[in-house]
A = this chain, B = another copy of it.
Amino acid sequence: MAVTDRVKQILSWYSSENPGTLTNLARLLNHGTLAGTGKLVILPVDQGFEHGPVRSFAPNPEGYDPEYHYQLAIDSGCNAYAAPLGSLEQPAAKFAGQVPLILKVNNSDSLAKLEPCSAITSSVEDALRLGASAIGYTIYPASGQRNTMYQDLREITIEAKRKGLVVVVWSYPRGTGLSKAGETGIDVCCYAATIAAQLGAHIIKVKPPTAHIEQDEARKVYEKFQIPIATLTERIRHVVQATFNGKRVVIFSGGEAKGTDAVLAEIKELAAGGSFGSIMGRNAFQRPRADALKLLSDVMGIYKSA
């Protein structure tokens, strides 16, 4: 656990937090293949709840077993493993101390098409009980239920910080009045990252943005100041800037499962743009284990040499 200069620099941005939170943040940054680099690759497996088990695990049925993902996160050298209560808890005793954990404390199922709003499904108390280093929470900016989610997060964040945990926020704009394209528009993505940061998140996860601009008022600003957003690398750099000028760790999801070349090409752009890392679920656990290990290793290699 010798702390590198880069990790010390990152921790210095969080100097208002207590040593407990700094310790858990250091744990995330100091584990696995990327330990000490200031980069993170996290394995998240909440798709069972979010999309249903079959859509999630049929491509690689080993994934129905919660132990599979723990072992994958450990063997691949990920910085952390994130999951909802049930699958994090099931084999937690068996894998105690082998990989930092992020307990996903809210979740949304997709059985009914309702205005998007995640339910709180576990707690800070659970996170401590399971030995997690962080809690994870999803907000849906632009949802008619956004304020409920922001307010619930506020309560949880106060407790998590008091107990020395790290707060990881998935910020996924969707819902009333946002177009499908708008959900990943560059202006919306920057906005989503800022909202999470303002709500007190330590680590922020957003989707890689497209060049689409959703809001007219924003488009004028992009045009007036000629903000470069043509390439993904440029857009990532822009999102990092929009997240407290790089003083909050912002990472990007891999999105839908796709071909290996496409994944690696995207990661290269993320890394070039200054992303602090990736959170890669379906592209990892829906592949056969050997392929997943190879892919994650390649992804980490790209970040390591960034």
Contact = CB atoms under 8 A, between A and B. Distances in A.
A129 B18 contact: yes
Interface string A116-141: 01111111011011111000000001
Given A154-B120, A154-B123, A64 B200 contact: no
Interface string A201-245: 100000000000001011001101101000000000000011011
A142 interface: yes
A124 to B, nearest CB: 10
A198 to B, nearest CB: 4
B144 A112 contact: yes
Given A16-B89, A163-B128, A200-B85, A143 B112 contact: yes
Contact of A126 (B151, B158, B221): B158
Given A86-B198, A128-B128, A198-B48, A93 B22 contact: yes
A50 B160 CA distance: 25
A244 B197 contact: no
Given A19-B129, A59-B225, A64-B244, A84 B176 contact: no
A2 interface: yes
A221 B58 CA distance: 7
Interface in A174-200: 175-178, 187-188, 190-195, 197-200
Interface stretch (A95-103, A263-271, A293-301): A95-103
B191 A114 contact: no
Nearest to A239: B53
A42 to B, nearest CB: 16
B221 A96 contact: no
A141 B92 contact: no
Given A54-B187, A247-B90, A97 B27 contact: yes
